[in-house]
Structure 1
Amino acid sequence: MDSGDERLWDEFHRVVNMSSRELSEWLRTRSSTPDDEEYPDRAGPHLGQRVLEILGKRKTDLIPDDFDVMRRVVDKIHGQRREDLEPTAGETHWRHRLMSLGHDPLKPPST
């Protein structure tokens, strides 16, 4: 893993401030339909599921596609948030969209 990948890993874990358990529960809650209840491990949007997969990996287990997903997620979250990621209330759909990527805008940044 080169230094750019290392920085991406760190930034991904900074902006994705929900634990894998929180994200998994959110995705199941968010898309609770009869079809999703049959396959709860596939609930939620594809990108949210990919975030969940990456959260379950070690750095050494990442594949090139994982880095692409991490870049997309970091870019999407930064595109909708300030750089400092201070807790911010907003419209419900905005918060839910971010939470489906693993970022809760009302959660204080970890130190």
Structure 2
Amino acid sequence: MAEASAQITPELWDEFHTVVNMTSRELQEWLSTAAAGERTETLPDQAGPAIGRRVLEILGKRRTDLGDDDVAVMSRVVDTVRSQRPADMEPQAGGTDWRHGLMNIGHDPLKPV
């Protein structure tokens, strides 16, 4: 096991778990579905974009097991969601590509936060 040297703040931990409003199971199913094609289907652990798979890994970790790379991904996810959503984070519809892009990182804009 890699040494967890990251210093994650309680604020980042809470914010990440607020903006990632999909459960691990929902995210895994979404990544698998989104990656399925007419001719090929990826293995479940390789489905979806790399950042989505990283979010899924992070959701399965304890706070004390996070490394520097995990903290960087968490910050990126929080920044991405906050930049693309209004401050109130109320459920809202939007374009398909926009919604799917957010779902790829564990945030469903149609779901309450």
Q: What's the TM-score once normalised by structure 1's chain length?
A: 0.90
How many positions carry a matched residue from both structures?
106
Measure the CA separation in 2 of the matches of 1:51 and 1:99.
Answer: 11
Residue 72 of structure 1 aligns to a residue whose secondary structure is helix
Measure the CA separation in 2 of the matches of 1:5 and 1:26.
Answer: 29
- Contact map agreement 1:88 1:106 (CA 8 A) in 2: yes
Matched, 1:74 2:78: yes
| Paired amino acid for 2:84 | Q
TM superposition shift of 1:8:
0.3
- Contact map agreement 2:24 2:59 (CA 8 A) in 1: yes
Matched, 1:106 2:110: yes
1:4-23 paired onto structure 2 within 5 Å: 5-23=9-27
Matched, 1:86 2:90: yes
TM superposition shift of 1:35:
4.7
TM superposition shift of 1:108:
1.1
Q: What's the TM-score once normalised by structure 2's chain length?
A: 0.89
Residue by residue over 1:29-69, the C-alpha shift from the partner in whole angstroms, topping out at 9 and shown as x without a partner, is: 00113251xx2111000000000000000101111110000
In structure 1, what is the equivalent of residue 3 of structure 2?
none
Matched, 1:28 2:32: yes
Q: Any unmatched runs of 5+ in structure 2?
A: 1-5
TM superposition shift of 1:107:
0.3
- Contact map agreement 1:54 1:66 (CA 8 A) in 2: yes
Question: More helix by proportion, 1 or 2?
Answer: 1
Structure 1 runs (4+) deviating above 6 angstroms are: none
TM superposition shift of 1:10:
0.3
Residue 9 of structure 2 aligns to a residue whose secondary structure is helix
Matched, 1:51 2:55: yes
